[in-house]
């Protein structure tokens, strides 16, 4: 793995130590700073390929550091970490271009995947678009926010028909779709896409799991069939599996 420099800014000494040790074990160079100010004064801003920063810190907090770097013309991809997740902070961070917004504690694999997404952005690789089709507005909102926190782009649609009309088919790398919806349901959308020659990997989500629907979806090639509510970790792992399947299909 290329020795990219990952800078960690966190006022918690134990978090700095464990995160830098983890980064080094994954093959990265890592530098740790106890505050935004010490990071800016260090002279390592130019060398940093990815910045992992706490949201809440004394003096300049993580969101203020993000704004400061943007105003100074830096395009360092930023991963926020926090023990105090809030919709407002998450929304501000993501709207300002953050790669991800991770709640503490986070898993090793999740951090690695997020850093990879950050480095793809840094070196000009387009992020995968994950499309979500669900008639429940709250599910669409929470799922798209979660997907963006993983480092992907997300687009949400209230129906299968609106997804098909949106002309996002060619851009979509993975489709997350509810089973039961008014009009065209999830299984019908899967059949429609297959008949059109589309090979987009599909992850089904449902609050009404039943063996018949599960069997039909998986036999038709679905990547997974997840019951609501599903965990952040499970969704992240399943999207990763779907994208690996898509890459395999592309290279075959």
Across the chain, which has 252 residues, the per-10-residue mean pLDDT values are 78 94 88 97 92 95 95 91 85 87 84 81 68 94 86 90 86 93 96 90 91 93 92 90 72 36
Nearest-angstrom CA–CA distance, 100 and 66:
13
Give the per-residue pLDDT at 238: 93
- Do you know the residue count of the chain? 252
The answer, as to whether pTM is greater than 0.75, is no
Query: Position of tokens 């609501």?
Result: 228
Give the per-residue pLDDT at 249: 56
DSSP state of 55: S
- Asked if 128 contacts 104 with a C-beta cutoff of 8 angstroms, the reply is no
Nearest-angstrom CA–CA distance, 201 and 190:
10
Three-class DSSP category at 69 = helix
Which DSSP string do the residues of 171-217 spell out, in sequence order?
Answer: TEEEEEEESS-SSS-HHHHHHHHHHTT----EEEEESS--HHHHHHH
Three-class DSSP category at 177 = strand
Contacts of 170 (CB under 8 A, 6+ apart): none
Give the per-residue pLDDT at 252: 34
* Six-digit token string for 68: 């400061």
Q: How remote is the C-alpha of 185 from its chain's centroid?
A: 26
């Amino acid at each position: 793995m290329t020795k990219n420099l990952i800078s960690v800014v966190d006022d918690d000494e134990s978090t700095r130590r464990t995160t830098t040790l983890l980064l080094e074990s994954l093959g990265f160079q890592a530098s740790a700073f106890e505050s935004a100010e010490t990071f800016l004064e260090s002279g390592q801003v130019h060398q940093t390929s990815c910045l992992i920063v706490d949201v809440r810190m004394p003096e300049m907090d993580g969101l203020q550091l993000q704004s400061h770097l943007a105003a100074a013309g830096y395009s360092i991809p930023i991963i926020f970490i926090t023990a105090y997740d809030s919709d407002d902070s998450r929304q501000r961070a993501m709207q300002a271009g953050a790669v991800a917004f991770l709640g503490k504690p986070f898993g090793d694999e999740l951090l690695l995947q997020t850093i990879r997404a950050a480095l793809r952005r840094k070196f000009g690789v387009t992020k995968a678009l994950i499309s979500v089709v669900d008639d429940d507005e709250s599910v669409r909102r929470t799922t798209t926010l979660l997907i963006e926190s993983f480092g992907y782009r997300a687009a949400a649609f209230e129906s299968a028909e609106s997804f098909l009309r949106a002309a996002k088919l060619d851009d979509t790398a993975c489709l997350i779709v509810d089973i039961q919806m008014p009009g065209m349901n999830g299984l019908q959308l899967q059949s429609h896409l297959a008949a059109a020659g589309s090979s987009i990997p599909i992850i089904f989500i449902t609050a009404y799991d039943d063996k018949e629907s599960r069997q039909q979806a998986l036999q038709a090639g679905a990547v997974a069939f997840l019951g609501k509510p599903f965990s952040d970790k499970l969704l992240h792992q399943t999207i990763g599996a779907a994208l690996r399947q898509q890459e395999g299909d592309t290279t075959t």
